Amino acid sequence: MFPDDLRYSAKHEWVRVGSGVSVRVGITDYAAEALGDVVFVSLPQVGEEVALDDACAEVESTKSVSDVYSPASGVITSVNELLNTNPETINADPYGDGWLFELELADSSELDELMEADEYAQQIGG
Helices and strands, number each (H, E), in the chain: 4, 9
Contact 2, 117 (CB under 8 A): yes
For residue 21, what pLDDT is reported?
A: 86
Residue 90 forms part of a structural domain:
yes
Tens digits of residue pLDDT in 31-68: 999 999 999 999 999 999 999 999 999 999 999 999 99
Residue 119 CA from chain centroid, whole number: 17
Note whether residue 125 is domain-resident.
no
Q: Which structural domain, as residue segments, surrounds residue 59?
A: 7-107
- Would 112 be classed as within a structural domain? no
In a domain, 115, yes or no: no
Determine, yes or no, domain membership for 11.
Answer: yes
* pLDDT at 4 > cutoff 70: yes
pTM over 0.85: yes
Residues of the chain above pLDDT 90, percent: 93
